[in-house]
């Protein structure tokens, strides 16, 4: 099943897509796609739900996100393009939840930005509380998956010293969606195609088969260092082709269009602007 949230920022309503991709209103069934609802998403025929007129804005497909957790250097080919040694354990950092925006919103480069970069990523959405779970049981705690773009200001991240979080957390640096797709519709999680284009030029081409740490291991590992709660989002790393890894490096400019896609999860289509 494909779940969405639609409407103006802060006023999103829950919805579903039917087999023809038409938007159906789910607000008569659940108040939002958030919290405990994610642990038991409604298993209903969307054709029985009201059709939504027009083409409303799609927001993040998950509401009330408590933690936005990111895994760094999780693709062997991405680590290679950066000249980095593949890690022995997952590299974990946080992204501010205030960075979250919808899949077709505007990426706003923050004041002083010179090196805003792109990172298409497969994101896990937690559906049930997870603490000290095994890899074998990890998927029982997953509500579904969506696209995330770990937008990064590299000068803030790499040149201001300190932790990566400061380069990852500007407003709009966390586009999520368009859809929350349940695990039963995802197929082989170890064979998903990921891509990202800037102004129609392919920048990133990758496959989840090159993940160093697979999804069950990531969920299990995180559950041993922090409690995971329904609605937590985990971005699982990016394939090669980021601007920082190019020779010479390439970064986003005002007016650019960024299109990110993952097998079975739809696409994000974002424009780039400037904040302040």
pLDDT score, position 160: 85
CB 110 within 8 A of CB 170: yes
pLDDT score, position 63: 98
Give the C-alpha separation, 268 to 272, whole Å: 13
CB atoms inside a 10 Å sphere around CB 227: 12
Give the C-alpha separation, 84 to 75, whole Å: 11
Phi, psi of 52 (to 5 degrees): -100, 125
Per-residue pLDDT tens listing for the chain (276 residues): 999 999 999 999 999 999 999 999 999 999 999 999 999 999 999 999 999 999 999 999 999 999 999 999 899 888 788 787 888 999 999 999 999 999 999 999 999 999 999 999 999 999 999 999 999 999 999 999 999 999 999 999 888 877 789 999 999 999 999 999 999 999 999 999 999 999 999 999 999 999 999 999 999 999 999 999 999 999 999 999 999 999 999 999 999 999 999 999 999 999 999 997
Token pair in block for residue 253 = 């400019």
Residues in the chain: 276
Homologous superfamily of 60-274 = Fumarylacetoacetase-like, C-terminal domain (3.90.850.10)
Token pair in block for residue 185 = 């519709």
Give the C-alpha separation, 157 to 36, whole Å: 34
Phi, psi of 176 (to 5 degrees): -130, 140
CB atoms inside a 10 Å sphere around CB 143: 25
């Amino acid at each position: 099943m494909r779940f969405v949230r639609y409407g103006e920022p802060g006023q999103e309503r829950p919805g579903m897509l039917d087999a023809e991709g038409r938007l159906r209103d789910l607000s008569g069934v659940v108040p939002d796609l958030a919290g405990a609802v994610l642990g038991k998403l409604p298993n209903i025929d969307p054709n029985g739900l009201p059709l939504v007129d027009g083409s409303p804005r799609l927001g993040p497909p998950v509401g009330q996100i408590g933690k936005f957790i990111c895994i760094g250097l999780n693709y062997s080919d991405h680590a290679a393009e950066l000249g980095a040694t593949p890690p022995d354990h997952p590299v974990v950092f946080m992204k501010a939840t205030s960075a979250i925006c919808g899949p077709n919103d505007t990426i706003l480069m923050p004041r002083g930005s010179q090196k805003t970069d792109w990172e298409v990523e497969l994101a896990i959405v937690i559906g049930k509380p997870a603490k000290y779970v095994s890899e074998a049981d990890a998927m029982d705690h997953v509500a579904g998956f969506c696209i995330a773009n770990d937008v990064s200001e590299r000068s803030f991240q790499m040149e201001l010293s300190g932790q990566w979080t400061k380069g990852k957390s500007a407003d709009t640096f966390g586009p999520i969606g368009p859809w929350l797709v349940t695990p039963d519709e995802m197929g082989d999680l170890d064979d998903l195609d990921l891509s990202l284009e800037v102004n129609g030029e392919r920048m990133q081409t990758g496959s989840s088969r090159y993940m160093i740490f697979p999804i069950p291991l990531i969920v299990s590992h995180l559950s041993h260092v922090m409690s995971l709660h329904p609605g937590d989002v985990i971005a699982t790393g990016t394939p090669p082709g980021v601007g920082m890894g190019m020779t010479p490096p390439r970064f986003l400019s005002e007016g650019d269009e960024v299109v990110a896609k993952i097998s079975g999860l739809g696409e994000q289509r974002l424009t780039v602007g400037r904040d302040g």
